[in-house]
Amino acid sequence: MVFIFLFPVETGWGEGLPANVVAGEGLLGMAAPGDQTGKANHNETGFVFYLHDPGGALPLERVAQAERRLARRRGKVREALGGILPSGPPIHIHLHPTVEAKGLATEDMSVAHAPAGEHAVHLSLQPGLEGDRIAMELLPLLRAAGEGPALRALEMGAVVLLSDDWLGRRPGEWVGRAHRAGLVPPLGEILDNATFDSGSRLLLPAVGAILVEWLLEDGDLLPGLSSRTTRAPGSPQGEKARGWAQFRELHRDWRPTSAEIAGLEEPWVRHLDSLSRAMEEPQAPGVGPVPRPVASPLASPLASTVPGTDPGRAPGPGSPPSFQRGFNFAHEGYRIHDGFGSARATASLAHLSSLGTNAVAVLPYTFLAAPSLPGPFPIPTRPGSENDEAVTHAILAAQDRGMEVMLKPHIWLRGSWAGEIRMSTEADWDRFFLEYGRWIGHYALLAEARGVESLCLGTELSAATLERPGDWRRLAHRIRQVYSGRLGYCANWGEEVESLAFWDAVDFIGVSFYYPLSSRANPSERELRRGADQALGLLEELGRRHERPVILAEAGFASSPTPWRRPWEEERGPDARVDAEAQARSYRILTQALEGREGIRGIYWWKWPSTGPMEARRPAGFTPAGKPAEEVVAQWFKRLASQATNP
């Protein structure tokens, strides 16, 4: 028997039931806590569900669906544990309506997690970020069985294999494409827990799934387990196939030595090669997903579609279907309740839509300590950061409002900027492109999984791109193995955008448009317009020469006096001078200069915060939110939208 209890207010959790818990009597036909049958079954291994939804956002049918999903997986989980579920108390399954609510309650915004030291799992039920699709309930059962410290690749690999799907597809699809792109790390890194946990949480669990599958299906790989192999009916390996019967033994006992890992590396790479060959080579970017490989007998069946992960949504390369009336959407709150993953971000995107915006660039950041370092480039996981769940929430919220999305990852350096990143040795350059490739490859996978229309290969890395064009060309080819949408690059204004040597390797020319419109403090309207026309004309000619559309992937002016002189700067601090009218004037000039320019296919203003208007916090800053420039943009965007609808 499974019970569902409803929390009218958030009370926390622990052993027993809080006094103010209301039992879900009658829900799904389940018994109330006073039922004697229920009391007896409470001590059997099963699930007790807790709903943390004080606002009543979750329909009860959605809660029932979560219960059914976990119930359907129990047989597979039992098989993975050697056919025996450990005795003991039921697993406490905590259901949260959104990743934001889950993060606020647990300080963990992942869609599903099993806290250490607790016989519990926390799941998000947010559409498109559904933790109940992931078999996280396996982890507390392994712990309850008294298993010692395990290899994370095996644990998470088993979780993925038992899950309904992984980002909407079979894990083998992602791994085969990632291997073809050179994104799968060596086996020694996969089997190192610290490296595994700091790597891509999209790719490495799927790699772990393929590793578990491979080790269990090939009886010759680990002789120490061969004496206990069992025949798996219908398995192509016959008597050598272990299937799930030996997973628990593998999980408990296998701690490979360096020599053993080295011996497995070559056959492991051959296995990945065969996985890649099982899928057709990708055709032109944008033709959709590669065909699915033959399912393993260990794999769970997939649902045909997952909200927010329809692979058919990624368009082809070339010009966007309409002029992109966009904003750079920035994670400004730095906390769970006002960053990308928040209800505030959803409201902020809704406001952008009301202005006539039809596209947003979502900006996940990484950090590099110094411009001479080759990496690594960490992927944020902290709650309140630009973690994958928060980024995905922003993507889905924008798509729900009919907006195109550009994923535009950035590198942040203290006291420097991305344009100064430069290595001093060939070895460091090799390491840089290895680390950078893994980082941008992670976001390519996220973009592909979420149907993101455009991806920037990089942003304003002027020293690196001008010095190493061949490496960037090769990187673009690699990323196309996993991403089928429009691939571009956002160059800095001036030398980088005008001299870049690999525009033919991407689909669009992105530019951070911070060309000065005038050097004078009091220019006339005509002088400002002349400066804008000159810069835009140069970019149009660049696009014609390379036969690529040009997109102003960043453009903006701070709310300070004479922002047209050095558009890339903003004043900060208590002494910052504020001039919102000068900002609006600059916006107006640029919108006028863009009229009728067929070679410029979009603009993304810098920037709009996830929190909504922030003029009180940084009144001299770039955002036009709540300032006269916002009305300039709204009038222009709405007129462009009307013209597109009624040409």
| Residue 429 neighbours by CB under 8 Å, 6+ apart | 374, 423, 468, 471
pTM of the model: 0.88
- The confidence score (pLDDT) of residue 167 equals 93
Compute the distance between CA of residue 191 and CA of residue 181 in angstroms, rounded to an integer.
20
- The confidence score (pLDDT) of residue 43 equals 29
- The confidence score (pLDDT) of residue 365 equals 97
What one-character-per-residue DSSP string does 310-356 give?
-GGG---SSS-SS-EEEEEEE--S-STTTSTTSHHHHHHHHHHHHTT
Number of helices and strands in the chain (H, E): 21, 17
- The confidence score (pLDDT) of residue 7 equals 42
From residue 7, how far is each of 20, 22, 102 by CA, in Å?
8, 6, 14
- The confidence score (pLDDT) of residue 242 equals 52
Q: What is the pLDDT of residues 178-211, one digit of tens each?
A: 999 999 999 999 999 999 999 999 999 999 999 9
| Residue 208 neighbours by CB under 8 Å, 6+ apart | 152, 153, 154, 155, 156, 157, 158, 160, 190, 196
- The confidence score (pLDDT) of residue 298 equals 35
- The confidence score (pLDDT) of residue 82 equals 73
Cis peptide before 376 (omega within 30 of 0): yes
Domain map (residue ranges) of the chain:
1-146, 314-645
Compute the distance between CA of residue 171 and CA of residue 177 in angstroms, rounded to an integer.
10
Structure tokens at 35: 């039922």
| Residue 242 neighbours by CB under 8 Å, 6+ apart | 216, 217, 219, 225, 229, 230, 232
From residue 640, how far is each of 164, 556, 635, 647 by CA, in Å?
43, 19, 9, 10
Task: State which residues of the chain have pLDDT below 50.
Answer: 1-45, 226-241, 282-316
- The confidence score (pLDDT) of residue 267 equals 96
Percentage of residues in the chain having pLDDT higher than 90 = 70
- The confidence score (pLDDT) of residue 614 equals 60
CATH top-level class for 314-645?
A: alpha beta
Total length of the chain: 647
- The confidence score (pLDDT) of residue 615 equals 52
